[in-house]
Homo-oligomer: A and B are copies of this chain.
């Protein structure tokens, strides 16, 4: 049985849905963990929601845990979970039994049929990557820049140049350059770098940005790594996005 604030649970569900509709949820003694890649292998989400984010966190046989097991796995239809969480205010009591997840909140009780976890793609490994730039940006500003870029192109260059963080989009008749100097950013440590990314994927991820500040890790022609805290610091999300190759 787990008890957690409905808005925190909703936040987690949204961050996962930015990449996949269904995923394996691993329940450990200290946290929930989800790691999934989209079908095209372009975007990855890695979420950890620690025990401290819950007001009750107890694993019992009814949670599918067999004696002595340290973790167990369920297959969660996050899209359907979002549908039912829409109606939950305040605290949600969540329990897992056999192939069912039950969510109870105020007068509502919802049950969802779980998915056989073996039918969902296995968790990917997260590649060990080095980045040359680390930038902390305001999440709302970054979302707004991505929306502006979407009006102009289907892809966007993100990078650092001479102490300025930039986002660039180039259309047939228009261009956009967004540029913020080091002094206007929470943090920027970096060499120059630049990578190109699909706006379709970035815009989807932007729906999951559930924090005021995002930490971006950038290199040249390299994946983009976006990190932020959730659940008042009792959880963390990492997104990774593969770069596009810049046409010469």
Q: Which residues of B contact A107 (CB under 8 A)?
A: 141, 178-180, 184
Complex partner residue of A109 from B80, B110, B111, B176, CB under 8 angstroms: B176
Interface membership of A77, Cβ < 8 A: yes
Q: Which residues of B contact A174 (CB under 8 A)?
A: 80, 83-84, 110-113
Q: How many copies does the complex hold?
A: 3
Chain A contacts with B in 74-106, Cβ cutoff 8 A: 77, 80, 83-84, 86-87
Interface membership of A126, Cβ < 8 A: no
Complex partner residue of A173 from B80, B144, B178, CB under 8 angstroms: B80
Complex formed: what's the CA distance from A107 to B107 in Å? 48
Contact pattern, A 35-51, Cβ under 8 Å of B = 1, otherwise 0: 00000000000000000
Q: How many residues does chain A have at the interface if contact means C-beta atoms less than 8 Å apart? A: 28
Complex partner residue of A177 from B108, B113, B173, B180, CB under 8 angstroms: B108
Complex formed: what's the CA distance from A178 to B152 in Å? 44
Q: Which residues of B contact A141 (CB under 8 A)?
A: 107
Q: How distant is A162 from chain B, measured CB to nearest CB, in Å?
A: 15
Interface membership of A161, Cβ < 8 A: no
Whether the pair A87, B173 counts as a contact (CB closer than 8 A) is no
Q: How distant is A165 from chain B, measured CB to nearest CB, in Å?
A: 9
Interface membership of A148, Cβ < 8 A: yes
Q: Looking across the interface, which residue of chain B has its beta carbon closest to that of A83? A: B151
Complex partner residue of A148 from B108, B144, B177, B178, CB under 8 angstroms: B108
Q: How distant is A131 from chain B, measured CB to nearest CB, in Å?
A: 22
Complex formed: what's the CA distance from A83 to B84 in Å? 35
Interface on A for B, CB 8 Å cutoff?
A: 77, 80, 83-84, 86-87, 107-113, 141, 144-145, 148, 151-152, 173-180, 184
Task: List 10 other contacts, CB 8 Å, given A109-B176, A111-B174.
Answer: A80-B173, A84-B174, A86-B148, A86-B151, A87-B148, A107-B141, A108-B148, A110-B174, A112-B173, A112-B174
**Can you report 11 A-B residue pairs in the complex whose CB atoms are below 8 A from each other?**
A77-B173, A83-B152, A84-B148, A86-B148, A86-B151, A107-B179, A108-B145, A108-B178, A109-B176, A109-B177, A110-B177
